[in-house]
């Protein structure tokens, strides 16, 4: 693969972009229904692509609103939440595949022959759907996970809840994760700056601190003291006279 080993910056999708990607799938062809349900699951449950493709029908509980991941990162199991609207999309695909004679032993997102879908198929599918939907961002499976995490953070969910949903080992990883994809504090602070008032002179920007930490503003710093001493006139040394000192 041409992009193997390369790293790209995270690009969070908007709600409109996600909707356009899903609408780009066929609503009649079985593969289109399946692919749309897969994208909904990646987006609404925040799963890794390997976790989503490993799901079995028994792992889904629409009544409880849960998805059971048996083999997450580090082979750790966890239970995540998924909303009712997402379950409707998944159930539509499950109903279609039952009518095709595919049993519940097959993975949820299987081929039309009941076999496992390879992650490479999904990675090549999403850019094609993006072009069709007119989405200019780089669209890839993990991008839905980024979008899911950013949405939870914007909704004000506690960091420990987001951590458990994503399956991170600790909250520090989740915090670092969100800092890269959704730095809410930075965005909020910059958006709150009264740019117009500052440029029009109606409000002065905060004064910059010019002193070092722990140094009083009235106390000269070492560099200031040295510069002042350099400006003082140099006094000539007293001349010594010959003879015995008195």
Q: Which listed residue (34, 146, 148, 168) is catalytic? A: 168
63 noted as active-site residue? no
Q: Which listed residue (76, 98, 142, 227) is catalytic? A: 142
Q: Which listed residue (34, 43, 48, 97) is catalytic? A: 48
Q: Which two tokens stand for residue 108?
A: 């949820």
Cα 189–Cα 195–Cα 197 angle in degrees, nearest 5: 125
20 noted as active-site residue? no
121 noted as active-site residue? no
Residue 4, Cβ density class (10 Å: 0-12 exposed, 13-18 middle, ≥19 buried): exposed
Instruction: Please say whether the beta carbons of 139 and 13 come within 8 A.
Output: yes
Cα 59–Cα 62–Cα 64 angle in degrees, nearest 5: 90
Query: What is the 8-class DSSP label of residue 240?
Result: P
142 noted as active-site residue? yes
138 noted as active-site residue? no
Query: What is the 8-class DSSP label of residue 79?
Result: E
Q: Which listed residue (34, 43, 145, 146) is catalytic? A: 145
Distance between CA atoms of residues 132 and 14, nearest Å:
17
Q: Characterize 32-62 residue by residue with b for buried, 16 or more Cβ atoms within 10 angstroms of its Cβ, and e for exposed.
A: ebbbbbbbbbbbbbbbbbebbbbbebebbee
Q: Which listed residue (73, 96, 123, 164) is catalytic? A: 73
Distance between CA atoms of residues 52 and 14, nearest Å:
21
Q: Annotated active-site positions, please?
A: 48, 73, 142, 145, 168, 177
């Amino acid at each position: 693969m041409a992009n193997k080993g390369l790293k790209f910056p995270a690009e969070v999708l908007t709600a409109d972009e996600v909707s356009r990607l899903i609408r780009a799938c066929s609503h009649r062809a079985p593969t289109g229904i399946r692919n749309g349900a897969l994208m909904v699951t990646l987006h609404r449950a925040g799963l890794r692509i390997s976790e989503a493709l490993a799901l079995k029908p028994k792992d889904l509980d629409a009544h409880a609103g849960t998805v059971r991941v048996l083999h997450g990162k580090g082979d750790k199991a966890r239970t995540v939440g998924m909303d009712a609207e997402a379950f409707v999309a998944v159930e539509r695909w499950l109903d279609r595949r039952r009518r095709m004679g595919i049993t519940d032993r097959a993975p949820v997102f299987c081929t039309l022959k009941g076999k496992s879908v390879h992650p490479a198929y999904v990675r090549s599918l999403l850019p094609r759907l993006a072009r069709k939907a007119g989405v200019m961002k780089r669209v890839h499976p993990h991008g839905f996970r980024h979008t899911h995490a950013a949405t939870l953070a914007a909704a004000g969910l506690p960091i420990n809840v987001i951590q458990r949903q994503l399956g991170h080992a600790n909250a520090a990883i989740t915090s670092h994760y969100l800092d890269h994809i959704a730095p809410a504090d930075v965005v909020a602070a910059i958006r709150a700056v009264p740019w117009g008032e500052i440029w029009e002179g109606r409000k002065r920007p905060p004064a910059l601190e010019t002193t070092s930490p722990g140094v009083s503003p009235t106390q000269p710093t070492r560099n200031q003291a040295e510069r002042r001493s350099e400006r003082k006139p140099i006094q000539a040394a007293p001349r010594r006279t010959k003879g015995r000192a008195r």
